[in-house]
């Protein structure tokens, strides 16, 4: 290699060659984008990114998101060269490299720290899991909103504790996905000046040239969203890239889109099929030709030339350390003058709760008329938010219906001219809302989002990613069943509960009365690594008399015996949500007829499955096979609890448009149907000798 080769070029080509070697060794992956974007990412990291590799969880660090996660080798190469350190699950920074050269050599292999797409928590230094296109962009909008809120809440005169920027690199696929449009629209409306998207405008997707399906003027679209838009005509022009990023940093009234024109080309003159190489290894011969074109040793593999890691240390590393040290010194003084805020800041960063966070939770007296769980949920949410200042959120244009607005004094609205408000307005953007919640949670805010359960279908991808990342996002979905009534089957969820329960790692809770709502929140607020979904009713639910029935504290175990018989029960009735009180009515009728019945409230399958086998057998004794489940949703999955011989009263079709009482009769959600099913179960169990 020529001695005249600059450290910039040497570093960029190191990123490129590591990417092509790793993809070739794995015989899987995408080499083109990491190679074409190496100068862009290098310029951002080495000259601008405020990030300390020796403390990758420093609270005021800039965030970098690779939204086009298939280009993961771009990120892994940067992380290795920058020397980012490992952070343990309990927030301890170690001296180990997050991405070692050996990890890169094992790209896409079992248990490698370099999986096919970037995975949050799996590899320290990765800010969010990306892979589904557009999600990283919407996450970055959430991170930018979190940054604005943290600045408004924590910054004081002479103490600027939060001013971080959020950068996301994206591609044509990200721009095509609807979620990015939703997020861009909201980001422009909120004037998130700390948000910068860098768009790799290379005109290539897996099927070929983007002209096959994409011809809009992206720049004009983003200007219409209210963004500042600038363009870099050549991805290799470091000076122009630097000027574009400087323009972003000087822009204080809107987010910025930098359009970078690039080509998936590798330097080898005979490379023609760039669309194929975008998603395939180059091949050994093509790699040799490309390395020759770079002036690189043609047969060297995974070469990191001397001086390149040191170059990163003198650039990004030195800048990051100085900024982090200054922040730590500032925090020490901040702690003296603003002790309460300093305590909040650290508790928030470690996902801890304030002392006595649950001291003002309401208690609901027995009431046959009752209260809708959306209403009791709103009361609990407001009580909690006053004790946990970083509990913030809103709805997809449905706060008046979901009852999730924070109404106490000074709660305020998060708006372009007041980023300290705690009520967020997502508009009718369910998909972006979920992704933004993930981004906010990744910045350690405790966010919640709300909507109708039926519209959870519009935002499923972020639920899955929240579970995959193990972040404690909270969702409050109301209008949970055919209880929606006259709105009809388009608004009546049937299969949604089963599908949400099928996602690993999410805790789904469907409380049966107001006090179960309270206890559900006691569970939810203590979660640190699991998202939670509360399923809530529009219609009133009777508030059970807890002097007569078991304490609602049983919610913490997922299922509990609410009402019981003397001795071994003949039949067990299992209900969730609005059907718990229906089971109670049937239970009382059966008991009056001398049938020994047990009623079990089961608000959360996931929590119940976490209990010991002994406890689960106490609630659902294996030798009591006469069982009836009652839930205004698909019966899918209930065989787990009622067995193959049990009865399942639920939805087998879509709903219908009619008043609730008529729907309950039509679909069998009335006491006499439950009683009849229970009696039939008892008779069949006796016939089987059990």
**Which helix H or strand E contains 688, and what residues bound it?**
none
Q: Are 592 and 647 a contacting pair, CB within 8 Å?
A: no
Residue with tokens 């557009």: 134
Please state, in angstroms and rounded to a whole number, the distance separating the CA atoms of residues 533 and 472. Answer: 10
Radius of gyration of the chain (CA): 28
Three-state secondary-structure class, residue 687: helix
User: Could you write out the DSSP letters of every residue in 594-629?
Assistant: T--EEEEE-S-HHHHHTS-HHHHHHHS-TT---EEE
Task: Count the Cβ atoms, other than its own, within 10 Å of residue 585.
Answer: 17
H or E segment and range at residue 367: strand 367-372
Q: Where are the alpha helices (DSSP H) in 371-508?
A: 373-387, 399-402, 430-442, 460-469, 496-501
- Burial code of 541-557, b = ≥16 C-beta within 10 A, e = fewer? bbbbebeebbebebbbb
Say whether 430 is catalytic. Answer: yes
Q: How far apart are CA 594 and CA 404, in angstroms?
A: 44
Task: Given the residues 177, 430, 516, 606, select the one marked as catalytic.
Answer: 430
Burial grade of 670 (CB within 10 A; 0-12, 13-18, 19 or more): middle
Residues 6 or more apart in contact with residue 524 via CB below 8 angstroms: 472, 474, 507, 509, 532, 534
Say how far residue 486 (Cα) sits from the centre of its chain.
Answer: 33
Partners of residue 199 on adjacent β-strands: 170, 259
The DSSP secondary structure of 267-284, one letter per residue, reads S-TT---HHHHHTS---H
The order of strands in the sheet holding 256-261 is 63-66, 166-170, 195-201, 256-261, 228-232
Residue 265's CB is within 10 A of a number of other CB atoms, namely 15
Please give the structure tokens belonging to residue 276: 């194929």
What residues does 478 pair with on adjacent strands? 452
Structure tokens at 456: 């959870």
137 and 151 Cβ atoms separated by less than 8 Å: no
Q: Cα angle vertex 572, ends 567, 573, to 5°?
A: 135
Continuous H helices in 83-228: 101-105, 135-154, 172-176, 178-189, 218-225
Residues labelled catalytic: 430
């Amino acid at each position: 290699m020529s001695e005249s080769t600059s450290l910039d070029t040497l570093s960029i080509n190191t990123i490129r060659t590591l990417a092509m070697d790793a993809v070739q060794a794995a015989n899987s992956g995408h080499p083109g984008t990491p190679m074409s974007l190496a100068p862009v990412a290098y310029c951002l990291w080495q000259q601008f990114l405020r990030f300390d590799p020796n403390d990758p969880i420093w609270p005021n660090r800039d965030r970098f998101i690779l939204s086009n996660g298939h280009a993961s080798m771009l990120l892994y190469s940067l992380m290795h060269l920058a020397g980012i350190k490992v952070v343990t699950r309990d927030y301890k920074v170690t001296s180990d490299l997050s991405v070692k050269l050996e990890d890169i050599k094992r790209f896409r292999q079992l248990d490698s720290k370099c999986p096919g797409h970037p995975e949050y928590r799996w590899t320290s230094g990765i800010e969010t899991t990306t892979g589904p296109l557009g999600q990283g962009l919407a996450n970055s909008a959430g991170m930018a909103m979190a940054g604005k809120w943290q600045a408004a809440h924590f910054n004081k005169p002479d103490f600027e504790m939060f001013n971080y920027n959020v950068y996301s690199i994206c591609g044509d696929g990200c721009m095509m996905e609807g979620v990015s449009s939703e997020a861009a629209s909201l980001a422009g409306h909120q004037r998130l000046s700390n948000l910068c998207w860098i768009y790799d405008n290379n005109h290539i997707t897996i099927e070929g040239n983007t002209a096959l399906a994409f011809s809009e003027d992206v720049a004009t679209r983003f200007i219409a969203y209210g963004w500042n838009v600038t363009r870099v005509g050549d991805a290799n022009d470091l000076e122009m890239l630097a000027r574009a990023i400087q323009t972003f940093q000087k822009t204080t009234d809107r987010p910025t889109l930098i359009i970078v024109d690039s080509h998936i080309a590798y330097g080898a003159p005979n490379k023609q099929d760039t669309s194929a190489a975008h998603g395939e290894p180059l091949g050994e011969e093509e790699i040799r030709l490309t390395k020759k074109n770079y002036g690189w040793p043609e047969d060297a593999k995974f070469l990191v030339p001397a001086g390149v890691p040191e170059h990163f240390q003198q650039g990004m590393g030195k800048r990051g350390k100085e900024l982090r040290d200054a922040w730590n010194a500032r925090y020490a003084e901040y702690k003296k003058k603003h002790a309460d805020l300093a305590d909040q800041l650290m508790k928030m960063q470690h996902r801890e709760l304030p002392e006595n966070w649950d001291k003002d939770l309401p208690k609901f007296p027995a009431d046959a008329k009752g209260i809708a769980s959306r209403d009791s949920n709103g009361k609990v949410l407001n009580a909690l938010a006053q004790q946990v200042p970083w509990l913030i959120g809103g709805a997809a244009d449905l706060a008046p219906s979901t009852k999730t607005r924070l109404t106490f004094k000074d709660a305020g609205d998060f708006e372009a001219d007041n980023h300290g408000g705690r009520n967020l307005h997502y508009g009718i953007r369910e998909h972006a809302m979920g992704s933004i919640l993930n981004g906010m949670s990744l910045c350690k805010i405790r966010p919640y989002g709300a909507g109708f359960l039926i519209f959870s279908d519009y935002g499923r991808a972020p639920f899955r990613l929240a579970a995959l990342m193990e972040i404690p996002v909270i969702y409050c979905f109301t209008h949970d069943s055919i209880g929606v009534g006259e709105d009809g089957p388009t608004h009546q969820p049937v299969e949604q509960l089963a599908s949400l329960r099928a996602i690993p790692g999410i805790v789904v809770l469907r409380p049966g009365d107001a006090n179960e709502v309270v206890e559900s929140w006691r569970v939810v607020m203590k979660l640190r690594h699991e998202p939670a979904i509360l399923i809530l009713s529009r219609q009133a639910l009777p508030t059970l008399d807890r002097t007569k029935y078991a304490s609602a504290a049983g919610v913490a175990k997922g299922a509990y015996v609410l009402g019981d018989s003397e001795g071994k029960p003949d039949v067990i009735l299992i209900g969730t949500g609005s059907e718990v009180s229906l089971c109670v009515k049937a239970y009382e009728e059966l008991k009056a007829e001398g049938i020994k019945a047990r009623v079990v409230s089961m608000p959360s399958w996931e929590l119940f499955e976490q209990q010991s086998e002994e406890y689960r057998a106490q609630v659902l004794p294996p030798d009591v096979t006469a069982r009836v489940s009652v839930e205004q949703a698909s019966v899918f999955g209930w065989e787990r609890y009622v067995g193959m011989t049990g009865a399942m009263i639920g939805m087998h079709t879509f709903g219908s448009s009619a008043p609730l009482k008529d729907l309950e009769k039509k679909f069998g959600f009335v006491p006499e149907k439950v009683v009849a099913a229970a009696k039939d179960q008892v008779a069949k169990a006796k016939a089987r000798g059990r």
